[in-house]
Structure 1
Amino acid sequence: MAKLKPRAKPKAKVFISDDHAIVRQGLIDFLERDGYKVVGESATVADTVAHCYDKNPDILILDLNMDTDNGINTIETLLDQHPDAKILIFSMRESLNTIRTTYKMGTKGYVTKSAGPDLLLEAVEKIASGRNYYMPGMLEQLFEQEEETEKDPREVLTERDLEIFTMVAEGHTNEEIAEALDVTEKSVANRISEIRKKLGIRMTSFEWIARKYNILRLEL
């Protein structure tokens, strides 16, 4: 009797949040053809916030213009509830201010709906592998036009604070940092709060600042 070949494991699990059914269905077909598993979809902000992470997706593809929300509040709520969430913005909006804001909040990528499908697929692949993705030339423009609003970490942080800051910027969780430094997670969380105060930031991601001040290499 012939043995059945085991099913290939999906590359990553994806949740799609967009208020246009035709867009959601197109993304589902496109991604599943390439080996990704779409674990859920949503047409409203409320449904996304309430149920997205019940499905344990690896990546959330999020449209910014749903309901009456501008998307920024949605991102803040999601990252507040799920700090390690990997959010890819897929939007009609091409404003550099919008893109910069979402990056600084801690999203992992931004693709405009005017882009070709290959760029979206590349974004999903990179984010699934733990990297960020911004369309060619996009980050360069963001950093060229960025004003000096935050303090340089190397000027205001202690050696230990800078070590923790860099580990967070690299994507390590509080648990991983606590284990590496042989301290409690609560101690790490408290230190991160203090680092934010020293840098004069509230929502801005550590990764953004680390790339801005060349503590992490800018990937264009």
Structure 2
Amino acid sequence: MTCRVLLADDHAVIRAGVRAMIQDIDDFTIVGEAEDGKETVEMARELEPDIILLDISMKKVSGLEALQALNRHSPECKVLILSMHTGPEVVLEALQKGAHGYLLKDAAAFELRLALEAVRRGDRYLSSAIVQPVIEQAVSKVNSNAEHTLTQRQLEILRLITRGESTRSIANGLGLSVKTVEAHRAQIMKRLQIHDVPGLVLYAVREGIISPDD
């Protein structure tokens, strides 16, 4: 089934370039283009796209403001940020506000395809150039006094989650049912009081469960 994409950027040249790249990717099609955050939210309601490629710096309503509105009004839409901003603070804010991925505007066509396919599967995607700075920034903000205990199985699943593995992939790899993995995931988040994947990555790095290079 073709994945329907809404492209939101206030620069016509950028939209034209991204449109051309997506036209060469099988099973993805652009169903609409928005020039600002307000229009993005309105078009998302009308068109119900599967993925929204969203710029951060747009007129009237910014991409981050639009992201919050999209979470409320179009929660079924997955948002992939497409931005020139490389600052880890901006990236973390976007992820914390519900973005499923963050792709830099200078990404090559093959990376755009990888990002779209990952988000379509329900996985997270970060441009390789920003992964290390984002982890380092996030680790610096973590409360080092927090102490939590996970079982060996939960630690194993946590490692796989932080590496971007999907629930089904984890289940297949460990010989478990999807429901069992989902139950472990819920228990991990409840025990750690962490409710998103970026937060789990921060915890895993701080506790030495994974290294920033993983």
Q: TM-score, normalised by structure 1?
A: 0.66
Residue 86 (structure 2) pairs with residue 79 (structure 1): no
Query: Which residues of 2 match residues 151-162 of structure 1 at below 5 A?
Result: 155=148
Q: Deviations over 1:90-126 (max 9, x none)?
A: 1121211111111222211111112222222221121
| Secondary structure of 1:37's aligned partner | strand
- CA drift of 1:150 comes to 6.1
Q: Deviations over 1:112-155 (max 9, x none)?
A: 11222222222112111221111115223212222344699973
Aligned partners of 1:117 and 1:14: how far apart in 2? 16
Computing the radius of gyration from Cα coordinates, the structure with the larger value is: 1
The change in CA–CA distance for 1:155 and 1:113 in structure 2 (over 3 A counts) is same
The change in CA–CA distance for 1:60 and 1:154 in structure 2 (over 3 A counts) is farther
CA RMSD of aligned residues (A): 3.7
Aligned partners of 2:51 and 2:101: how far apart in 1? 10
- Corresponding residue for residue 124 of structure 2: 132
Higher helix share: 2
CA contact (8 A) 2:8 2:52 kept: yes
Identity %: 23
Residue 19 (structure 2) pairs with residue 28 (structure 1): yes
Q: Deviations over 1:26-62 (max 9, x none)?
A: 2222212222111111112111111213222111000
Aligned partners of 1:207 and 1:58: how far apart in 2? 21
Query: Which residues of 2 match residues 41-120 of structure 1 at below 5 A?
Result: 41-120=33-112
Aligned partners of 1:85 and 1:154: how far apart in 2? 35
Aligned partners of 2:23 and 2:120: how far apart in 1? 14
The change in CA–CA distance for 1:93 and 1:206 in structure 2 (over 3 A counts) is same
| Secondary structure of 2:49's aligned partner | coil
Counterpart amino acid of 2:94?
Answer: T
Aligned partners of 1:41 and 1:96: how far apart in 2? 27
Aligned residues: 184
Q: TM-score, normalised by structure 2?
A: 0.68
Tell me, which stretches of 5 or more residues in structure 2 are unaligned? 168-177
Tell me, which stretches of 5 or more residues in structure 1 are unaligned? 1-8, 182-187, 189-194
| Moved beyond 4 Å, runs of 4+ | 149-154, 169-172, 215-220
Aligned partners of 2:45 and 2:22: how far apart in 1? 19
